[in-house]
A and B are shown apart, each in its own frame.
Chain A
Amino acid sequence: MNEHLEHRLQCVVNALNVWLDGYQRPGSPLQRAMEKTAEQGLFPIQDIRFGVEHLCNTVLNGEPESWLRAVLADGFRDNRSETVLCLHAGNLPLVGFQDVLAVLLSGAGYAGKLSRKDPWLIASFLECLRTLDASIPIETTLDLATYEGRQFKRWMFAGSDDGLLRVSAALQNMGVLHKDAQALLRTAHFSAAYLSEWSDAHIEDLIESILRYDGKGCRSVAIIYAPIPLEKVAASLQKAGAQWLERNRFDGSSAPIVGFRAAYNAAVGIPSVLVGTQLIQEGVASPDHPEIVYWQRIKDVHEPRLAYGKALQEVYGDAGAPLHEAQRPPISWRPDGSDPLAWLLGVNG
C-alpha cells in the first residue's frame, strides 16, 4: 500500500468512526440525516436504523482495511488523479454506500449523483469526511446536469438493463462521460434462498430477508426453494411475519397488488399466504413485484442460476452465502459478482 492509500484509508476510517459515533447522539449529523429521511417519509425509521446498525457492525470492525488489503494483494493502479462518477439508486436507505467506500478507498475522487429518495444519509457521511480532510475530492449533486461536460472516465451504475440504455445515452449526450468511459454496471434484481433441508430455524432469517426494505433490494429473497409445500409452514411464516411487522413498521398495510394477487391465486388454486406485508405463493415464479415472493419445490441447486441468470444476485443457503447475510452483507460483498474496489484498483475482482 502506498502512502496515498494509507492516508486515504485512515481518513475514511476516522470519518466512519466520527460519523457512526453520532448514531445514538441527539443532534449529531447522522441523527439529523436519519430524522430528515424518516420525517420526509422516504424510508421507515426502522429500516434506516437497521442499515446504520449494520454499518456499525461492519465498518467499525476493521472491514474496510481488510477489504483494501485483500484487494491490494493483487497489485493496483494509482487513482489519485481520477474522479469516479457514482449514480445512486434510491430503492433502500444507504444503497450504494459500498460504492462510496470503494471509490474513496481506491484513492480516487468521488462524484456522486445522489437519489432524491435518499439525499441525506450518504451526504452526511461525506460531510464528516470533508471536515476531517478537505483535500479529498468529493462532490455530490441531485441533478446530473451539474456534471455536464465533465467527461468522467469511469462510472458506477446499479439499475435495470432498460434503464442503463437510457442513462448511458443521456450521460453521453450531456458530455458527463468521456466517449471511452469505463463502467461498472450492476443489473441484478433479486436473490433466492435454496434450502434443501427445511428447519424452523430458517424462519427468522427468511422473514428478515423478505420483509426488510419491503423486498426492494437486490439482496432481498424473491424465490424460496424448499423441500416441503408452502402450506406446511404457512402458519409459522405468518406468525413470524406478524411479529416482524410489530417490531419494524408503524403501518403494516400491504400494497394493492398483494390483495389482487391473493384474489387471483384463490381463483386458480395457487396456495399463497400473507406474511407481513408480502404474499408468499406457489405457482410459476415470475418475480415481478417486490411484494410477491415465490415458493418452489427444490429440484437442482443450479436451477435458480439457470432460470434467472443475471437477474439473480445471490442464492443463499446450501451452496451460497448464509441466509442471515441477506440484509447484512460484508462490506466486501460482490454486486453482480464484481468487487467494486478490485475494479477500481484495476485488479481482477
Chain B
Amino acid sequence: MQTRFDYIFHENLDFHAALQDVLEYQLGMNRVYRTFYDGVQSMNLGGRPPQNQDEALPLGGGEVLPLMPVEAFRDARVYAAGNHPPELFFQSSGTTTSVRSRHEVAFAEVYRTSIFAGMQAFYALENMVVLGYTPGYNENPNSSLVWMINALIDSDPTGLSRFLPIGQSISRDLLNEIERNERSVLLFGAAFGLVDLAEQHPTTLPEGSIIMETGGMKTYRREMSRQQLHEMLADGFALPWESIHSEYGMTELLSQSYALGDEWFRCPAWVRTSIRNPLNPVQELPAGQEGLIGVIDLANWASCPFVLTGDRGVQRADGAFQVLGRWSQYHLRGCNFLLEDGP
C-alpha cells in the first residue's frame, strides 16, 4: 500500500489524473471525508470533483472539490490506511486551542519523500548544511517540523547539519567547517526564535545561505510585521533580504510551500492551493480576492489530502499565494462599521 501513490512525486505528474485517483481512494478508504463529501453533495452546495484539467488548476473557478475543515484532525480520527498502523504521530503545539490536532501518518517514507522532493524542487540541498533552531517546538515530542528538520539533518553526508543549542551563538568553528566544505547554510526555525538568535548572537553566515522561517509565533514577546521580521533576520545574519525565505506548512499536511525571498508562496507539483469563500467554502474565489486558504496535498493520501485551513490568503493568477494571517474569528458577528459599506 505504501507505494500506491508514489507516482505523485514523479516528474511530469498529471495532476488532474492523480487527483481523480486519490479522490477515488479517499472516498473508499476515508469514512470521515466520504461522509463529509456526501453531505456537501446532498446539501446541494455545489461541491463536486473537478471535471477537467482546467478545474484542477488553482483558479479553475466555480464550485469545486469540497475541502474538509482542518479542524477534522482535531475533532475526529482522519486516517485512510485501513489496518496498517500509523508509523508516525504528529500533534500541533496547542498554542491557539486547548484541544490539539493529531495527524497519524501511515508511512514515514511518504513524508520523507515529500520533504525531500518538495525541497529539491526549490533548493540545491546537496550544497547545503541544515541547521535547526526551534525553541518552543523542542518541548513538543510530536512536532512534524522537528521531525522534518531531523530528516534533513540525517541525510547530510558531511555530518555538519544539526540542531543548534538554544540561546547560544552559532559556533564560528562550525561555520568555518561549513565554508571549508564549500557549502552554505539552510537555517530553519520558528520566526521569533530566529529573531532572538539574530539579535542576541548576530553572525555572518556563509555566502549563499538561506534563512527559512517557518512562521509560528511560539514566543509571544512582541508583534512585528513580516517585513520587519525579514529585515531583522537579514541584518542579524549578514544576508541580503532575498535570502530570507518562508515555509508554509502545518501538522496536518505532509507537504510544504515556500516563499523564496518574497511574500508569495509556491507549492510543489503534487500540491494545489486555492482561495475559498469563507461564506461558502465549496466556492473558489478569483485571483486577488481574500478568503480561506484551501490546500490539496496529494501526499496526504493516507489521511486527508483535501484541507480547508483557517488561514486568510490571497492568490495570484499563476497559483502563487500569500498568507495574510489567521481568519479573523469573530468579525462576521456583531457591529462592523465599514468605510465603504456597499453601493
Are A and B genuine complex partners? yes
Which A residues are within 8 Å of any B CB, using their own CB? 87-91, 95-96, 115-117, 144, 157-160, 162-163, 166-167, 170, 186-190, 215-218, 220, 222, 255-257, 259-260, 262-264, 266-270, 283-284, 286-290, 311, 313
The B interface is mostly helix, strand or loop, or mixed, namely loop
Q: Tell me, in angstroms, the Cα distance from A264 to B44 when the chains sit together.
A: 14
Interface residue? B1 (CB, 8 A): no
How many chain-B residues does the 8 Å CB contact rule pick out? 44
Q: Please state if A267 and B68 are interface contacts (CB–CB under 8 Å).
A: yes
Q: A259-B43, A260-B280, A287-B330 are in contact. Are A89 and B337 (CB under 8 A)?
A: yes
Q: Please state if B32 and A257 are interface contacts (CB–CB under 8 Å).
A: no
Q: Tell me, in angstroms, the Cα distance from A189 to B335 when the chains sit together.
A: 7
Interface residue? B168 (CB, 8 A): no
Within 281-312 of B, Cβ neighbours of A (below 8 Å) are at 281-283
Q: Tell me, in angstroms, the Cα distance from A115 to B337 when the chains sit together.
A: 8
Q: Please state if B43 and A286 are interface contacts (CB–CB under 8 Å).
A: no
Q: Tell me, in angstroms, the Cα distance from A291 to B44 when the chains sit together.
A: 18
Q: Please state if A162 and B331 are interface contacts (CB–CB under 8 Å).
A: yes
Q: Chain B 60-74, CB within 8 Å of chain A: the 1/0 string?
A: 000000101101101
Which B residues are within 8 Å of any A CB, using their own CB? 32-36, 38-40, 42-45, 66, 68-69, 71-72, 74-76, 97, 99, 278-283, 327-339, 341-343
A224 to chain B, nearest CB (A): 15
Q: Tell me, in angstroms, the Cα distance from A89 to B331 when the chains sit together.
A: 12
The interface residues of chain A lying within 8 Å CB-to-CB of B42 are 263
Q: A167-B337, A222-B333, A268-B76 are in contact. Are A162 and B45 (CB under 8 A)?
A: no
Q: Please state if A263 and B36 are interface contacts (CB–CB under 8 Å).
A: yes
Q: Please state if A257 and B337 are interface contacts (CB–CB under 8 Å).
A: no
B126 to chain A, nearest CB (A): 43
Q: Tell me, in angstroms, the Cα distance from A34 to B35 when the chains sit together.
A: 45
Q: Tell me, in angstroms, the Cα distance from A236 to B122 when the chains sit together.
A: 58
Q: Please state if B39 and A267 are interface contacts (CB–CB under 8 Å).
A: yes
Query: Can you name 21 A-B pairs with beta carbons within 8 Å?
Result: A87-B337, A90-B338, A91-B336, A116-B342, A158-B334, A160-B331, A163-B331, A190-B330, A218-B334, A257-B279, A260-B43, A260-B282, A263-B38, A263-B43, A263-B66, A264-B36, A267-B33, A267-B35, A267-B76, A288-B330, A313-B334
The interface residues of chain B lying within 8 Å CB-to-CB of A167 are 337, 339
Q: Tell me, in angstroms, the Cα distance from A348 to B278 when the chains sit together.
A: 41
Q: Tell me, in angstroms, the Cα distance from A116 to B343 when the chains sit together.
A: 7
The interface residues of chain A lying within 8 Å CB-to-CB of B97 are 284
A125 to chain B, nearest CB (A): 19
Q: Please state if B336 and A89 are interface contacts (CB–CB under 8 Å).
A: yes
Q: Tell me, in angstroms, the Cα distance from A38 to B282 when the chains sit together.
A: 30
A257 to chain B, nearest CB (A): 6
Nearest-CB residue, chain A, relative to B331: A160
The interface residues of chain A lying within 8 Å CB-to-CB of B66 are 263
Q: Please state if B74 and A263 are interface contacts (CB–CB under 8 Å).
A: no
